[in-house]
Amino acid sequence: MTTTLSTDTVDVDGEGFLTNPEQWNEQIAETIAAENGIAELTDRHWLVVRFMRERFLGTGTAPSIRSLGKESGVPIKELYQLFPEGPAKLAAKIGGIPKPKGCI
């Protein structure tokens, strides 16, 4: 399915995660953030979002909350303050990458 975010039409899954990361841009990120209760993306938000996105584009998988806390330099407690509804999921959504899969 597709949806229109700011002025762009993008491909998304049933939960609103972009399925094609190349369609992403910063305006789209801000629109998704606002739709998910984050009125303004601060520098700390951007740090996490960019980290998630770069990691996904580089390795094909997005980090779990635990690796995110260890590797991004943002402690898990703060990650939850920034993204109260779940840092890994929400940062992935805002960063325009697919929903992180829980590994098994």
Partner 1 sequence: MSRKQIVILGGGTGGTMTANRLRRRFGPDEAEIHVVDRDDRHVYQPGLLFVPFGLTSLDEIVRPRRRQLHDGVIFHEAEVAWVELDREEVVLLDGDVIPYDVLVVASGVRLQPEETEGLDGPGWNDRVFTFYTPEGADALRGALERFDGGRLVVNLVDMPIKCPVAPLEFVFLADWTLRERGIRARTELVYATPLDGAFTKPVASQHLAGLLAEKEIELVTEFNAGEVDGVGGKLGSYDGRELDFDLLVTVPLHGGSAYLERTPGMADSLGFVPTDKKTLQTTVKSNVFALGDATDLPTSKAGSVTHFEAEILSENIGRYFAGRELERGFDGHANCFIETGFHKALLIDFNYETEPLPGHFPSAFGLPLLRESRLNHLGKLAFQWVYWHALLPGRELPGIGPAMPARGKKTLPVPS
User: Which residues lie near partner 1 (CB under 8 A)?
Assistant: 14, 61, 64-67, 70-71, 76-77, 79-80, 84-86, 101-104
104 vs 102: CA distance, rounded Å: 6
Which of 45, 8, 41, 1 has its CA nearest to residue 24?
8
Question: Is 47 an active-site residue?
Answer: no
Q: How far is the CB of 103 from partner 1 (least distance, A)?
A: 5
The residue (of 3 and 67) whose beta carbon lies closer to partner 1 is 67
Q: Nearer Cβ to partner 1, position 26 or 66?
A: 66
Phi, psi of 9 (to 5 degrees): -95, 125
